[in-house]
Structure 1
C-alpha cells in the first residue's frame, strides 16, 4: 500500500500521535541541542505568532517555539502526527526510544508535558464504529463522560453511515476519547476509494496538562499500554448488553463483546515506532499531484512547437527562498546528519 506510508502492519497497534511539552527557560540552543539532540543549524528559524510565541525553529513537523524574554512560558516543543514519526527517526538514530526520551524530559530536565495523544490502530475490526454511535445514541453505554459528539455522513445507496467519528467527553476538558474510521479520512485525503485501503479504525485518547503528566508517569512505570486499557478505556467507557432491546440483539452483543476484547488486548500493547525520514514530503506530494500535469503539458507544448524548454528556462530564472534553501539542505541530508554532538546529556537546563 505505497500511497499510505504508515498503514498499520499489525491487527492492533499503538503509537504517540501528538506531543507538546514546555520548559521554563529561554535557552533554545539547550533545548534543541541537549534535550532533543538535534543540530540547531538544521532548523529553519522564523518569526512566529502561533500560540503567542515570538520565534520558531522548525525541521518540517518538529517545531520548537520560544516566547518573548519577559514571557515566563519559556519554550514549547510541538510534535504533531507526522512530527512524532519524524522524531522517532531521530530517536532511533540516537539509540533512544519514547520511554527514555520522556523520562529524560520529565525527570532529568523538569519539562512539562502539556498535551499527549495516544492512538490505537485497529485493522481487525474489533468494533463497528457506526454501530458504536448507534448504540450510544440509544443509551447502551455507561461512561464517566457527560457528553458526546459525532461527525460523518450517510450513504443514500445503502443507508449506512460512513466516515463516522465519535467524541466522548468535552473537547475543552483535559481528557476525551475519539473513535473514527481512519480509512475514510485517508481515502478522502489521497482521493482514492475506501475499498483500496481496507478496514482501519482509530481510537485516540487525548490528554492535556495534569492528565498528560499522569499518563506519562504511567507509561514510564509500566512500559506498556496496560494503564490505557484498565484506567482510561475500561474505566471511562463501557458498552452494555440488554435482552430488552428489540431487533438489534445480535449487533449489540457483537459490539459489547468486541469492546471487551479490544480493551483486554490494548492492555498488552507496546508503543510502536514507525520512524519516517520523509521530511517535507508534503511539498513533494503537492508537486506531484498539483503541478505535475502542468509541467507535463508545457513540456509537450515545447516538443510540439520545437522550442527550447520552457521549464528549464523557468528553473534557471528562479531564486530559492530561505525556506526552500533550508528544505534543499534537508532533502540532501540524512537523519544522522541532524544529530547533535551535544545530544541529550545529563546536564540540567537552567
Structure 2
C-alpha cells in the first residue's frame, strides 16, 4: 500500500469540525502541531499526505478505538392510521412544524400527496377532508435518518426516546420497514489482515463453514482481484434472504463505495471515513414492528442488531482435533457478544404492561415534578391528575385479567424507573 497519497484538506477540516469540535488552536495542541503548520494544511499551502493524516488521527486516539461496529438506523417507515392534526403530529413527534415541509402532489404507496422536509417525507391523502381517511406514512431514507438525528440532537433526545414517545402514545402506529446499518470500523494501516474479508465469507459458504439455512438463500456480486489503491471497483456484495421477504441481509465493502462516490482511492477512503465493511439488516412488516418494540423496550440497538445476525448466520474456521467446528475469530470479534434475538411477529393485545412501560418511560419524570411542586407549594395537583382519569370498558377487562406475573412485571418496571 502506498503511503504518500495526498488527502484533500477538506477532510482535515471535517475531522476538526465534526469529530473534535474544537477551535484551530486547541486542535493544533492536541495533535502536537504548530498552529501555522495546521493553518497551512487547511489552506492548501502544504500538501496533506495519508501518512500525516494518519498521524493526526493517531494523536486523537481513533485507531485505538476503531475495532468495533458502529450501528445506526438507516431507513425507517411507520404508518399512523388516524392523524387528523398533521401540524400537531409534526411538532409533537418530529419536533418541527408542518410549515417547514413542502407540499407536493405525488402518488406513491397508494397515497396521493406528499409533505417533504429534505429527506423526511410524510405521505397522506389530498382528499382526506372529504373521505375521512387520515392515515399517513412517515418515511425516512438514510439521509432522512441523519437529518432527523440533527433535530433530535437539537432537542436533546435520542432515537430510543423519540420512538418510545411515538410507540407508547400512538396506538395507531405500525412500523412497516426498518433498515439497520452496522459499519465495521477500520483498524488502521498495516492491520487490514485483522479485518473481516467478504471474499473469505464466500469461500466459507462453499466449504460449509458459513451456515445460512435460516435465511432461505444467498447470492453475491463482485469479487476477483481487487486493487486497494483503485476506487474503480464496487467491491463485493453478499446477500442473504430475499428482497421480498420480511428479513434480508446485505454485506458489502463500503470502502469501495465511498471511494467511488468521493472520487478518491480506497486508501484515502479508509483514512478519511474509517469504514471497512457495512452489514445491513432490512426488516419489514411484522419483523420491523417487533424490532421497534424490542428497541423501545430497552434492548440496546447494538445488541439487538448483532443478535439478529447471530440468530441467522453461523461462521466457523476449520475444525478442532475432535472434528467440531471452531468459531471464526474475526466474525466473533464483530458479532460474538450480541445476544440472539427472535423477532416473533405474533400480535400482542392491549395490556397493563404496555401502560406501565409508557408511564415509566414517558410520564414518570413529569409526575415526579408535580409531586415535588405539591410538596413545596402545599398543593394537590397530583391528586387532581389522578382523579381526572376514568376506567373504560377496555381497561376494566384488563384489570379483571391481572395475574401474579403481571404484578411482578409492574414491580420490576417501577424499580427500573426509580
Shorter-chain TM-score category?
0.5 to 0.7
- TM-score, length-scaled by structure 2: 0.56
Shift of the 10–19 alpha-carbon distance from structure 1 to 2, 3 Å rule, reads farther
Partner in structure 1 of residue 198 of structure 2: 129
Partner in structure 1 of residue 170 of structure 2: 109
1:209 to 285, 301, 305: 285
RMSD: 3.1
Shift of the 223–235 alpha-carbon distance from structure 1 to 2, 3 Å rule, reads closer
Q: Secondary structure at 1:240's aligned position in 2?
A: strand
Q: How many Å apart are 1:153 and its aligned residue? A: 4.4
- C-alpha distance in 2 between matches for 1:121 and 1:34: 31
Q: How many Å apart are 1:266 and its aligned residue? A: 5.0
Q: Secondary structure at 1:118's aligned position in 2?
A: strand
The one-character-per-residue Cα deviations of 1:243-281 (angstroms, maximum 9, x if unpaired) are 49xxxxxxx97x8111122113556xxxxxxxxxxxxxx
- C-alpha distance in 2 between matches for 1:93 and 1:57: 22
Partner in structure 2 of residue 45 of structure 1: 103
Q: Secondary structure at 1:171's aligned position in 2?
A: coil
Contact 2:304 2:338 in 1 (8 A): no
Gaps spanning 5+ residues in structure 1: where? 245-251, 268-344, 346-350
Partner in structure 2 of residue 238 of structure 1: 314
Contact 1:176 1:205 in 2 (8 A): yes
Shift of the 30–10 alpha-carbon distance from structure 1 to 2, 3 Å rule, reads farther
Partner in structure 1 of residue 250 of structure 2: 178
Partner in structure 1 of residue 219 of structure 2: 149
* Number of residue equivalences: 258
Shift of the 10–221 alpha-carbon distance from structure 1 to 2, 3 Å rule, reads farther
Partner in structure 2 of residue 64 of structure 1: 122
Partner in structure 1 of residue 79 of structure 2: 22
The one-character-per-residue Cα deviations of 1:66-95 (angstroms, maximum 9, x if unpaired) are 135348581011111111111011111122
The structure that is helix-richer by fraction is: 2
User: Does residue 1:119 correspond to 2:181, yes or no?
Assistant: yes
Shift of the 266–71 alpha-carbon distance from structure 1 to 2, 3 Å rule, reads farther
Q: Which has the higher contact order (CA 8 A, sep 6+)?
A: 1
Q: Secondary structure at 2:151's aligned position in 1?
A: helix
Q: Which has the larger radius of gyration?
A: 2
- C-alpha distance in 2 between matches for 1:101 and 1:202: 25
Aligned residue runs from structure 1 range 1-350, under 5 A: 2=10, 10-11=66-67, 12-27=69-84, 28-67=86-125, 68-69=127-128, 70=131, 74-110=135-171, 111-123=173-185, 124=187, 126-143=195-212, 144-155=214-225, 163-198=235-270, 200-224=276-300, 225-230=302-307, 232-243=308-319, 256-265=328-337
- C-alpha distance in 1 between matches for 2:242 and 2:132: 30
Q: How many Å apart are 1:26 and its aligned residue? A: 4.7
Contact 2:180 2:282 in 1 (8 A): yes
Gaps spanning 5+ residues in structure 2: where? 1-7, 20-61, 188-193, 340-365, 367-418
Shift of the 137–180 alpha-carbon distance from structure 1 to 2, 3 Å rule, reads same
- C-alpha distance in 2 between matches for 1:191 and 1:153: 21
- C-alpha distance in 1 between matches for 2:210 and 2:227: 29
Contact 1:166 1:178 in 2 (8 A): yes
Q: Secondary structure at 1:200's aligned position in 2?
A: strand
Q: Secondary structure at 2:238's aligned position in 1?
A: strand
- TM-score, length-scaled by structure 1: 0.66
